[in-house]
Amino acid sequence: MLSMKIIVVVCLIIYKARLVQGRNEVSVLRVISSSIGDTLLECQTEMDIKEEVIQSFLNFWDLKNPADNKEWGCALECVFKKNEFLTPDGKTVISDNVREFFKAAGADGLMSLRMLDLFEMCKDDAKKTINKCDNALEVTKCFRFGIVQLDWAPEHNFWNRTRVHPDQIPDQVTDMVEAPQPKRRSSSNVWRRRLNRPNFRRLASYLRRVYCR
């Protein structure tokens, strides 16, 4: 049986090869990590999450960290809720909110769409996991794996380092290979078609059906 990790890698390789080569994406993920970390601290206060659970997040980007603590999942579910990533029932991604969250961290239009694609694919793959805490954990682990495969992840010990001042973080720029950046808001639908999102999703769906039964 082919694991979901292999499916994510295959899809990301195909997606990456067709579309872009980027720079400064790691800086964007540092900002995202800092924002998530701040929200986690808010959730810790509200949910009385143990300090050791929060400490275990410090090596989040290290894939050797199994991230299998159920309390992680509940903390992450709180983060999703505070950022309004999902509908109130927790079943559907609110795409606009997730995309704007990425853009606020410095991602350009293309990078934010790519991360949104990954997040939605991970959410779709975890749909059979009913418990909200477990579901949030599975989505996050899948997203982490995809970001690491794209070489966008911050250092393993990022949260143990001194935080970089926002003014010192370079702007994220993505070099276009095929499709030009849309200049008008009204062209966004055309842009999304050029990104081949349906083909990407069909490929992921096909691989899951064939190899993950």
- Whole-angstrom distance, CA of residue 27 vs CA of residue 86: 25
Tokens of 45: 């206060």
Question: If you average pLDDT over each of 106-110, 177-181, 188-192, which comes out highest?
Answer: 106-110
Give the pLDDT of residue 201: 57
| pLDDT confidence bin for 180, thresholds 50/70/90 | very low
Sorted by where each begins, the domain ranges of the chain are 4-211
pTM of the model as a whole = 0.68
Average pLDDT over residues 60-74: 84
pLDDT in tens, 36-57: 989 999 999 899 888 888 888 8
Rounded to an integer, the average pLDDT of 102-122 is 94
The larger pLDDT score, comparing residue 179 to residue 148, is at 148
Residue 48 is encoded by which pair of tokens?
A: 């009385």
CB-hemisphere CA count at 13 Å for 16? 16
The one-letter amino acid code at 83 reads N
Q: Closest by alpha carbon to 86, among 46, 33, 127?
A: 127
Q: What is the pLDDT of residue 6?
A: 53
More confident residue, 25 or 183: 25
Q: Which CATH superfamily is domain 4-211 in?
A: Pheromone/general odorant binding protein domain (1.10.238.20)
Within 13 Å and on the Cβ side, how many CA atoms surround 153?
A: 19
